[in-house]
Each structure stands twice: as C-alpha cells, then as structure tokens.
C-alpha cells in the first residue's frame, strides 16, 4: 500500500520546461476558487436548503415531486438535503471550520433518512453515505486537534449506519449484485416499495460500493456492509469475459448475463475500475490490485488508442462499439496517475484539454474528430480531477494553466446570480436550471488542491483516499479491526499471472529522463485536434465480411429488409410524428453472429446520421408571387442536400406549380406535358427523395416541392427538415427540390385550388418585392379592397437558421435509432429538452430521418379544406382570408427564427 502513496508524493518533484506560475498568481487563483465556492454554497443555503439541490436560474430548491420529473436523474434526490451532505468535507478542506460545524448541526437536526421515496443505490451510496462518512472523518480529525467539534459523538457515523442498513435490502439477490433502486422506508419488493422489479444494473452501479461500505464496516465494527460489497465485486469479476478480460456495461442482476456487451472506461463502467485500485489503496488487499492490473492490461490493449479511449465489444474486442466518447472518461488520466502509467495519462488529458478549449467545456459526448455529439455539460468535475493528479505527478505548471482555464470558463459561461448553472448546450451557451451536488463536492476540492500550497491545507491529504465523489476516507482504516468472511471466489493463481506488472511505483527520473518529455507528448495531440483529424475506419476482423444489410441501403417499407432486421434482433416502433424508431435487443437475434451484425448495422446508422448532421443547411423560402399574393406570402421550406444550391443563385427559380401524377413521384410521371417547364408538387413517402427528383426532372420540371403527408406538421413547431440523397451519387440531379411541412404545403395547395395558376419563387431567402417585379408597378393589396399589410411585413425577410442538436433521448438498455420509414438519409435533429446521462447506462439514440408514410391521423384543417373543385366567389374569398391568417402565422414564425438566430 505504501508504494502507491509514495507515487503521489514523489512525482511532484519532477521538473518541467513549462513557464512557472508565480506564487502570487497561484495565491490569487486559490482565493478565487474559495470565492466561487462561497457563491455556490451560500446561494444553496439561502435559496434552496433544505431541498436536495439548487435551481440556480430560478433561485429556488429542487424538491422531488414538486418539479417536473427528469427521469433517472431524479433518483439521486431523496429529500435528505443532498447538497449539504455532499459538501461537508469540502468545507473543512477549504478551511471553513465554523461553517462545517454549523452544517453538521443542521444535518443532525434537519435531515431524515426514512423518507418513503425510491432512490438510486449507486448515487445514494457515493453522495450521501460517502458524504456522511467523509464528514465523520473530518469531524474526528478536528476533534483530535482539540479546538473544534469537541461536542461530536459519532452522530454522523450513526446516520451513516442507519443509511447503510436502509440500502442493504437492495443486495438481497441470488447474485449479490444490488437492485439499482431502493425505497428508503420500505426497502425492495412489495407494492409499498414501488421498486424491486428491475432486472438490470450497470457495472459501475454494482461495482462502486466497496469503499463506502468497507469504511462503514471498519468505522462501526459491523462486517456486514463490507461483506456485501465484496460479494458484488466477486460476482462481477467472475462474469468478466475470460478471453478479453473486459466487462460489459449492463448486467442482469439475477442471471449474470451481460445485457450490454460494449466495454469502455466511461459511463456505466468508469468507477468500477477506479474502486478496484482504490480498494487496494484503502484496504491493503492485494487481490484488488491483481484484478485491476488484469483489467488494465486489456484496457490498454483494446480500448486505449492514444489519445482516444473507444468502447469495444467484450467478445470481439477488436471491433469498435462506437465512434464517440463520453465526458465521464475524463477521470481516467487521474486513475492512470495513481496506477503509475503517466505517458498515456498525459496524452489523453491533452486531448480532453484541447476539446475543452474548442467548446469551453467538455460536451457530454464528442466524436473521434472532436465534434459535439451530446451538447450538455452539467459542470462535471472529472477533467479538473485528472488535471490535479497530473500536476501532482509532474509538477508541470502547464496543468496550473489548465486549471486556470477551467476557472475562467466557469466564471464566464456558467456563473449566474444564484450560483452556477449547468450548460444545456456548449455550442450556444444556453443554461439549464441545475446545479448538481457533485459540483460542490468535487469541483472545488480539486481546484483548491491544484492551486493551494501545503501550508494552506488543514490536514495532509496523503493520509486519505478520494472516493469517486471526492469524499475523504482515512487510510488508517486498513488497520482497523474488522471481521470479513473469505471471498467466495478468490482469483486463482493461474488468473493472477502478474509478471508483467510492477508492484512498486516507477522511478520518475527513468520515466521522464528528458524534462521536455511531457511537452513533447502533448504537441502532436494538440496539432491533431486543431486540424480535426478524420475518423478512423471501423475495424473488421478477417473473415467477418460485411453485415447483411448496410444502413444506407435500408428501406423501411422493404419486406426483405424488415426480415433481415428481425433476424438481427432489430425491431421497429412507430412514433406519433410519422417516424419509426429502430431498437435492437441482442437477445432476440437468431444467433450471436446475427446480433453482432445488428450492432454493426445500428452503428452504421448512427455514423450515417452523424455525417449528415455536419452538412446541416439553412432553411429556404418559397414565395408566392402570383395574384393575389404578389410576393407577400413566404413559406419556410427545408433544403435538399442535392440538386441546385439556391444559396448560389442570385435570382432563384421561378415558375408555376402543378401537381405531379402520380402524386408520390415514385414512378414515371404520367402528366409530363403539364409538369414540363413547371415546378412539380409531390407528396412525401413511398420512395427516396432523390428518386422523386429524378422522375420529375425526366418529365421536364424546373423544380420540385415535396409536401409532408403527416397531417398537422408545421415549421412553427417542428425542427428544420432537410432531405438527403439515397446513398449513391446525386450529381445527375440538377433541379432544386424543397420540402414543406403539412401546414405550409396546405397553404400552397389551397392557393392552387382557389387560383388555377399559382406562381412561386424558390430561393435561399425571401426576395424584396421590387426585385421580384423588376420595375413594374407594385401590386397594392392582396385582394381588391383589402387593407394593406404593415410595411414591416413587406420587408425582405433575411435568412435564418435553426440551431440543431444531436442529443441522447432518455436512458435505455438497448440500442435505439429513430428514423422515418424508408430512407435513413433525411435528417431531422432531435429536440434538446432531454436529460444528460449519468453513470447509469445510457444508450446512443441517433435521430435519423427518412421518408415515411404517415402513421398519425389528426383532424382536418376545417378552414383550409373545401370539397368543391370549382369554388364560388364567396368561398374563394373566405379561403384567401384563411390563407392570410396562416400566412401571418408563418411570417411571424420566420421572423422569430431570425430573432432566435441573432
């Protein structure tokens, strides 16, 4: 155990060529950390306590049940003043002893742990149990100092034991793996508990128990907690994939079968590896180090692709499971420092630092070419944690500058009057009304330690181990009296061939003989990220061949394709908005090989969406220029990724519209004599957009407008829709093709019913009427005798774009892809009002849109529909009034898009 401690102490002496930060600068930054902590903590106490968390935008507390549910994220909230408990040992570290003593008294007098509420076992363990134990450790340390907490009689420890007993029912499974949730009052199972029916849990959820439970056993003398935690770890070790020595992300708590077989070091697995190594540090049991070393060798062999850390499949570890990384893996360089493997730690940290500098914060997920994949950032501390440990290991002032960057970005972009707000989107700087307890528990600890001198610290941090929530547990627990039964499945001697692993810390002078070595490692990574390196091609094992169905070939209305999906365990779920959702259950595949084909198909589908997301185009305009509209009606249209680029045309394309026959445009046009020289109207569905374009182009059309068949859809409420090709070359398509949602398309169709000849202008933005009519007298009013519209409505509308996002949708234990029913190339971005992933298993959801037949039926627009093919004057006039009302709505929406963009 001592060699690991020596690592953290000795590596700090390493010299560096970085420019040293002056003591005065470090002192100012240290004080800045304290001021920022005060701002966050005091606002929580003033505006939120005794609620679990602060809502910094609305300056109030988040009370579960009183605020709209955020899904699994709310399982961390148990009406037990979460933020206060999570912050206890931070107060002591920052020399706020008086505030700590007051906080402990508040916890003892106000906090109840017997609430009838279902909470996450994982989150409650690391945040609340860990917070109580960290607070107890600090209280004992201060009491022994003789000046503070002299009244303390282990009250926090008693609360910790009470909480531990309330968590124990979750471990009542045949495997020893805990249920993911427990009712604090009623336990698990039975109607009153509202839990106990779950079958799956994440590896980190079951494997991140040992530090807190072992500390509780050794503090209290009751071995039951440590025994249950060891049993869970033993079971996970037993269920590792024996060839790759990797573990999956999600496991069935009853059978031990892996539900998700992807393996990495980020969300869902991260702290399992962390706790194996730290359990060795805290408890002195060599078995934990042996297991960690075996896992670590496989991580470095399969997952680590410096500077990247990419998930793989546990059964086929040379096969990538995804092409993006999540932000939780940012802890891993810090763990590598503890292990003593500094070189890859420097490389991965540098990659993370450059991504941070590109986006101000680490996005929740980012691609292998360092673009945003999931745009949220809930003020996670893992990057600050690794920055601190690398500074301890190298003494390189470069990491002080990295810490300064973190501070500056928090103050510039996240600070609000009532605390610090999470980033809803790192690209736009929008906020979320959220300040998680881990922000106070972890972020300010690591930043304070980064800039503080030893004399600034009230105790020697080398005497403690940090939990995954940065709570402090004393290393003296390794010698505390305890009684624990022998593990059920000790690692055999054959499995413990540890000859390749050092049992002592590396000599840093041999590790870095050249003091410029760390800088030389960083430089190529920085330049690669600056140039935004291309994505590596997915590896395919020899003999594996191609999957039986490629994503770009998939058609949702092709029975043969649907049968292939079924064999791969992929099913389709129809959504109300006309799209379908692809969901993969590997267990439903006809064979293991078919399941792997399904995984590859889903991965291709998400990769396809990611590529198209980069090509997002701004909206286009369809302007009705004929009588009686005369250019005042502008419809917001979606662009196509093929055909004429209207943004490069100064005049646009102008012509009369006609309905193509067949209306779908999916076969040869039968009324070509009417379509020739006109702009063809088509209905969405039944075939690819590119196929429609080719058919009307062959018939002589000068342009095309595709109208959504999903009744009720509108550009007012739906995100921008853009049409993509069919996976093949579309260079042969030379006419412009635009897309209208149902509402806007109906305006055009009603105009065609009322006025036999309707002329439109297709362009990148609405044109000034003077430019449209080129010197001719401008028409006065929309219809004879009507009042002129306001001058502002006559002004040319400028181009506006709709911000898009590529977000996770919920949390699931299956691969999920959303798309329309036939073509994966049409992309509609997902809505942004979604929760970020936590350490629970989050699945990748890719919003891939394709042409679809409508599956949703709504009421017909009563004002816009008329049955008569030959309307009389009164009905025609009435229709125009209704068209004007729709047009004004559309105009307001277009203007609002301008404001939103600005």
Q: Which residues are catalytic?
A: 123, 270, 364, 382
Helix (H) or strand (E) holding 404: helix 398-409
Q: Say if residue 384 is exposed, middle or buried (CB neighbours under 10 Å; 0-12, 13-18, 19+).
A: buried
Pairing mode, strands 324-326 and 304-305? unpaired
Q: Cα separations (Å) of 236 from 171, 173, 245, 670, 767?
A: 14, 14, 11, 65, 65
Cα–Cα nearest to 851, from 816, 818, 826, 817: 826
Query: Cα–Cα distance between 764 and 625 in angstroms, integer?
Result: 15
How many DSSP H helices and E strands does the chain contain? Answer: 28, 32
Strand partners, 433: none
* Exposed e or buried b per residue across 718-740, where buried means at least 16 C-beta atoms within 10 angstroms of its C-beta: bbbbbbbbbbeebeebebbbbbb
Give the CA-trace dihedral at 879, 880, 882, 886, to 10 degrees. Answer: 130
DSSP 331: G
646 Cα distance to chain centroid: 34
| CA distances, 173 to each of 180, 188, 199, 229 (Å) | 11, 10, 10, 13
Query: Which tokens sit at 619?
Result: 């909206």
Burial class (CB in 10 A: 0-12, 13-18, 19+), 445: buried
Question: What CA–CA distances, in Å, run from 716 to 635, 712, 827?
Answer: 11, 11, 18
DSSP 177-233: PPPSEEETTTBSSSTTTT-----EEEHHHHHS-HHHHHHHHHHHS-THHHHHHHHHH
Two tokens at 95? Answer: 């020399």
How far apart, in Å, are the Cα atoms of 741 and each of 684, 709, 715, 871?
10, 8, 6, 25
Helix axes 97-110, 130-145, angle to 10 degrees: 130
Query: Which residue from 392, 385, 465 is spatially nearest to 89, judged by alpha carbons?
Result: 465
Beta partners for 258? Answer: 251
List 202's β-bridge partners, or say none: 250
- Encoded tokens for 615: 């090509």
Give me the residues paired with residue 201 across strands. 251
Q: Give the C-alpha separation, 682 to 703, whole Å.
A: 11
Cis (ω within 30 of 0) for the bond into 628? yes
Count, residues in the chain:
902
Q: Which residue has the tokens 């470095």?
A: 300
> In angstroms, what CA-CA distances link 857 with 44, 577, 682, 711, 766?
48, 10, 20, 7, 32
* Cβ–Cβ under 8 Å, residues 261 and 584: no
- How far CA 394 is from CA of 391, 423, 445, in Å, comes to 5, 31, 19
Work out the end-to-end distance of the chain between its first and last CA atoms, rounded to an integer number of angstroms. 58
Nearest alpha-carbon partner for 656 in 630, 699, 624, 689: 624
CB-neighbour burial class of residue 539 (10 A; exposed 0-12, middle 13-18, buried 19+): exposed
Which is it for strands 200-202 and 181-183: parallel, antiparallel or unpaired?
Answer: unpaired
């Amino acid at each position: 155990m001592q060699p690991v401690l020596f690592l953290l102490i000795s590596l700090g002496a390493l010299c560096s060529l970085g420019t040293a930060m002056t003591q005065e600068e470090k002192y100012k930054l240290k004080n800045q950390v304290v001021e920022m902590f005060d701002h966050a903590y005091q606002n929580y106490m003033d505006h939120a306590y005794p609620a679990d968390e602060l809502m910094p935008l609305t300056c109030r507390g988040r009370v579960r049940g009183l605020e709209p549910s955020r899904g699994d994220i709310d399982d961390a909230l148990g009406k037990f003043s979460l933020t206060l408990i999570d912050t206890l040992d931070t107060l002591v570290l920052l020399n706020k002893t008086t505030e700590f003593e007051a906080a402990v008294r508040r916890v003892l007098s106000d906090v109840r742990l017997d609430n009838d509420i279902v909470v996450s076992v994982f989150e409650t363990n690391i945040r609340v149990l860990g917070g109580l134990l960290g607070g107890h450790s600090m209280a004992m340390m201060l009491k022994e100092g003789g000046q503070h907490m002299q009244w303390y009689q282990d009250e926090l420890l008693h609360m910790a034991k009470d909480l531990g007993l309330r968590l124990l029912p979750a471990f009542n499974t045949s495997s020893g793996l805990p249920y993911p949730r427990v009712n604090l009052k009623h336990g698990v199972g039975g109607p009153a508990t509202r839990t106990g029916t779950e079958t799956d849990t994440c590896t980190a959820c079951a494997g991140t128990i040992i530090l807190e439970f072992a500390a509780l056993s050794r503090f209290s003398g009751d071995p039951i907690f440590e025994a249950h935690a060891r049993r869970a770890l033993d079971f996970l070790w037993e269920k590792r994939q024996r060839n790759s020595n990797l573990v999956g992300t999600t496991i069935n708590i009853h059978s031990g079968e892996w539900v998700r077989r992807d393996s990495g070091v980020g969300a869902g697995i991260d702290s399992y590896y962390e706790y194996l190594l730290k359990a060795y540090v805290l408890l002195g049991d060599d078995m934990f180090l042996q297991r960690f070393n075996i896992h670590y060798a496989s991580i470095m062999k399969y997952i680590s692709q410096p500077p990247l850390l990419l998930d793989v499949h546990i059964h086929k570890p040379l096969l990538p499971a995804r092409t993006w990384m999540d932000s939780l893996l940012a802890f891993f360089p810090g763990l590598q420092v503890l292990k003593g493997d500094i070189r890859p730690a420097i490389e991965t940290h540098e990659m993370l630092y450059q991504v941070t500098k590109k986006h101000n914060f680490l996005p929740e997920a980012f691609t292998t070419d360092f673009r945003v994949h999931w745009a949220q950032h809930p003020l996670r501390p893992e990057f600050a944690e690794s920055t601190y440990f690398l500074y301890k290991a190298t003494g390189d002032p470069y990491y002080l500058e990295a810490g300064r960057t973190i501070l500056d970005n928090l103050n510039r972009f996240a600070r609000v009057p009532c605390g610090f707000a999470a980033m809803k989107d790192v690209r736009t700087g929008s906020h979320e009304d959220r300040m998680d307890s881990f922000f106070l528990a972890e972020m300010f600890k690591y930043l304070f330690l980064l800039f503080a001198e030893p004399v600034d610290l009230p105790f020697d941090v080398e005497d403690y181990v940090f939990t995954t929530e940065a709570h402090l547990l004393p290393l003296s627990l390794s010698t505390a009296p305890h009684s624990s039964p022998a593990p059920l499945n000790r690692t055999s001697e054959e499995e413990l061939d540890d000859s390749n692993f050092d049992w002592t810390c590396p000599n840093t002078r041999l590790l870095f003989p050249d003091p410029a070595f760390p800088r030389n490692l960083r430089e190529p990574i920085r330049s690669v990220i600056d140039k935004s390196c291309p994505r590596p091609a997915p590896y395919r094992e020899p003999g594996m061949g191609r999957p039986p169905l490629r994503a770009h070939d998939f058609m949702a209305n092709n029975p043969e394709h649907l049968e292939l999906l079924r064999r791969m365990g992929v099913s389709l779920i129809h959504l109300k908005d006309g799209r379908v959702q692809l969901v993969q259950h590997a267990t439903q595949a006809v064979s293991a090989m078919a399941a792997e084909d399904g995984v590859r198909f889903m991965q291709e589908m998400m990769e396809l969406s990611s590529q198209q997301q980069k090509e997002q185009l701004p909206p286009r305009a369809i302007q009705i220029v004929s009588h009686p509209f005369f250019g005042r009606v502008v419809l917001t249209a979606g662009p196509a990724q093929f055909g004429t680029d209207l943004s490069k045309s100064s005049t646009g394309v102008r012509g009369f519209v006609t309905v193509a026959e067949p209306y779908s445009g999916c076969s040869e046009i039968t009324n070509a004599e009417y379509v020739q020289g006109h702009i063809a109207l088509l209905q969405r569905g039944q075939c690819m957009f590119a196929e429609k374009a080719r058919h009307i182009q062959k018939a002589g059309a000068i342009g095309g407008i595709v109208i959504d068949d999903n009744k009720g859809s509108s550009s007012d409420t739906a995100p921008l829709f853009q049409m993509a090709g069919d996976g093949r070359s579309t260079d042969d398509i030379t006419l412009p093709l635009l897309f209208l949602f149902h509402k806007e398309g109906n305006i055009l169709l009603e105009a065609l019913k009322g006025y036999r000849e309707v002329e439109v202008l297709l362009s990148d933005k609405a044109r000034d009427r003077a430019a449209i009519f080129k010197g001719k007298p401008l028409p006065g009013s929309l219809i004879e005798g009507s009042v002129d519209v306001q001058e502002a409505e006559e002004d040319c509308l400028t181009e506006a774009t709709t911000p898009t996002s590529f977000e996770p949708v919920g949390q699931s234990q299956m691969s999920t892809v959303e798309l329309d029913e036939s073509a994966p190339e049409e992309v509609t971005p997902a809505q942004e009002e979604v929760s970020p992933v936590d350490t629970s298993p989050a699945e990748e959801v890719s919003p891939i849109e394709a042409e679809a037949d409508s599956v949703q039926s709504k009421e017909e627009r009563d004002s816009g529909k008329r049955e008569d093919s030959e309307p009389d004057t009164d009905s025609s006039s009435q229709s125009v009034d209704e068209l004007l009302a729709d047009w004004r709505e559309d105009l307001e929406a277009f203007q609002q898009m301008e404001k939103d963009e600005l």
